[in-house]
A and B are shown apart, each in its own frame.
Chain A
């Protein structure tokens, strides 16, 4: 806390000092050594806070005993990759990987395919019912899981879709589809109208314009929507925990929990699995994170 106050007061005095001594003019955006030192200090502390829980998880995953998290000192001497080889060879890791991928990719593909034309329509056309549709798209995004989970459970068990990948994909689509439509609208809004007009002048129908001109241009936007659906479906906990009963069909989000409840809290294995899951997902995240943020905020701010 004290570092923050130092930082702000330094910022206040920085330019003031520069004005008093005109010989040493600083350009805008540049700060005195004290201010930048304070900035670095705050950022380093924040980075450590952001990093620590994850680093700790990785560290614990190297300890051989399930109670090592209580005695972290021991891990230094007994560090081993045994947890990882055990997880890969003797647990359902690859089953979970398969379920997670089937469910997430299924949601992603259906979500983007279904939502693409709608995103275009609400971006370019004003038709009666436009505002209602936008309102519905907005409201569906804020459905608490508690609204749909009970009726979905009943409906899916009537249809025999409990414990099946298709059931879970359908449930995820209830949020993925409106969300993708919203996100894609934001991206289509950034593509100039002149392109549509040029297509129209050359005799393309609205569908032709969409399929031949806009869709190829919108590939980054489609990728962001796809990626967002993937990440959401991959990390979803509530529906997956409730609808998947067979432990070979668990997604990772459910599988990780099963380490604590069933195998009498094998925390070392759990940590190792968590790290194995986190590495590819985070790597993927870093590849697309810049586009993701623009996509997320653009959809909401433009009417």
Chain B
């Protein structure tokens, strides 16, 4: 509660300035805000050099036909100058509408959407379920919590290899399925099962984060709300629907957004699970990586163009998501 008041006064202090003429506003603005600008200067410089410059350079590359055969490179003592040329928007046209555009872009696009939607839905529902269970008075609660966090605690590049051993042809999962007289799919070869395996592994990796964040959200809900609901004779389902879910709203909207961004950009799981062997199970990020670095000659221009397209998709999605949130709730400014 106190935090909210502090924030309110802080905001008022910042926005207090009345609105005089433009010249005076600029001058007094710099007098008043110069230390703010001095404080953000380091990050502004770093972002300019490390993000903006490569981004602009990448944007330029997408307008050329650069690949590993015509970019500048040094072989031994010989330096070969770049010979790629400007071709305008041809890369984008080729990716989106060119021949076999469906196989190269749209099939991966659809699979990426399905992948993101399914993974985040699974992360959220399983995470919420486990968080609700852990939020009860239960013997051994801390122990369960510590074990359930394990997939998050161990680095992904380690656990994915564990899964690869389990999913391999004669691995433990297929042996178990065989022992139960169930069909044993070839997880790492067949397209459908590759996708299934990728979603399964990513779900396993992503649930703990959701669970822990939602558990934090559950614990911050005021217990008197539950008491009031119970007084009014609300059933457990109604308490969940009208107290728990609204109470979780701000945490949920953040973690779902983070989850969508992370899953959409998930590189490690698919790359380490399949390498370059599964063209149909690649989501757009790993596919862009394959174009730029997994094949010969490396197609830098197309890969960069995929990157720009991906970023555009994410930015459009995020702004709609934020607008949709703001429609419901004014205070979520960012």
Contacts and interface: CB of A to CB of B under 8 A. Distances in A.
Contacts of B253: 301
Contacts of A43: 130, 133-134, 138, 144, 148
A256 B161 contact: yes
B165 A56 contact: yes
Interface string A27-41: 011110000100110
B292 A147 contact: no
Interface in A277-303: 277-278, 281-282, 285-286, 289, 293-294, 296-297, 300-303
Nearest to B227: A28
B245 interface: no
Contacts of A128: 29, 33
Contacts of B227: 28
Interface in A188-219: 189-190, 192-194, 205-207, 210
A144 B285 contact: yes
A237 B43 contact: no
B189 interface: no
A121 B40 contact: yes
A152 B54 CA distance: 6
A173 B162 contact: no
A144 B213 contact: no
User: Which of A40, A142, A148, A242 has most B Cβ within 10 Å?
Assistant: A142
Interface string A267-282: 1001100110110011
B304 A151 contact: yes
Q: Specify the main secondary structure of chain A where it touches its partner.
A: helix
Given A28-B227, A69-B168, A125-B36, A147 B271 contact: no
Given A50-B147, A57-B158, A141-B261, A154 B300 contact: yes
A34 to B, nearest CB: 13
Given A72-B172, A235-B155, A138 B334 contact: yes
Contacts of B148: 43, 46-47, 50
B332 to A, nearest CB: 6
Nearest to A139: B315
B57 A155 contact: yes
A54 interface: yes
Contacts of B50: 170-171, 173-174, 177
A57 B164 CA distance: 10
A147 B170 CA distance: 38
A244 B305 CA distance: 24
Interface residues of A, number: 112
Given A46-B130, A157-B73, A144 B307 contact: yes
B19 interface: no
Contacts of A56: 162, 165-166, 172
A49 interface: yes
Q: Output the residue of A149, A152, A286 with the most chain B CB within 10 A.
A: A149
B307 A150 contact: yes
A51 B53 CA distance: 44
A245 B263 CA distance: 28
B289 A294 contact: no
In terms of DSSP, what is the predominant structure of the interface of chain B? helix
Nearest to B237: A12
A166 interface: no
B254 A301 contact: yes
Nearest to B59: A151
A97 interface: no
Nearest to B72: A158
A226 interface: no
A78 interface: no
A22 to B, nearest CB: 14
A235 B268 contact: yes
A88 interface: no
Contacts of B284: 144, 146
Interface in A224-261: 231, 234-235, 237-238, 241-242, 252-253, 256-257
A152 B156 CA distance: 24
A286 B58 CA distance: 39
A290 B285 CA distance: 31
Contacts of A106: none
A136 B334 CA distance: 11
B150 interface: yes
B100 interface: no
Contact of A143 (B53, B226, B255, B311): B311
Contacts of B105: none
A241 B272 CA distance: 11
Contact of A151 (B29, B61, B331): B61
25 contacts: A39-B133, A43-B134, A46-B130, A50-B151, A53-B159, A53-B163, A120-B39, A121-B36, A124-B10, A127-B29, A128-B33, A141-B261, A147-B55, A149-B293, A149-B303, A150-B303, A158-B72, A194-B6, A235-B268, A237-B157, A237-B271, A278-B154, A282-B153, A286-B146, A301-B253
Interface of A: 4, 7, 11-12, 15, 28-31, 36, 39-40, 42-43, 46-47, 49-51, 53-54, 56-57, 60, 69-70, 72, 114-115, 117-118, 120-122, 124-128, 131, 133-155, 157-158, 170-171, 173-174, 177-178, 181, 189-190, 192-194, 205-207, 210, 231, 234-235, 237-238, 241-242, 252-253, 256-257, 267, 270-271, 274-275, 277-278, 281-282, 285-286, 289, 293-294, 296-297, 300-303
Given A127-B14, A278-B158, 5 more contacts: A56-B166, A125-B39, A141-B261, A151-B58, A157-B73
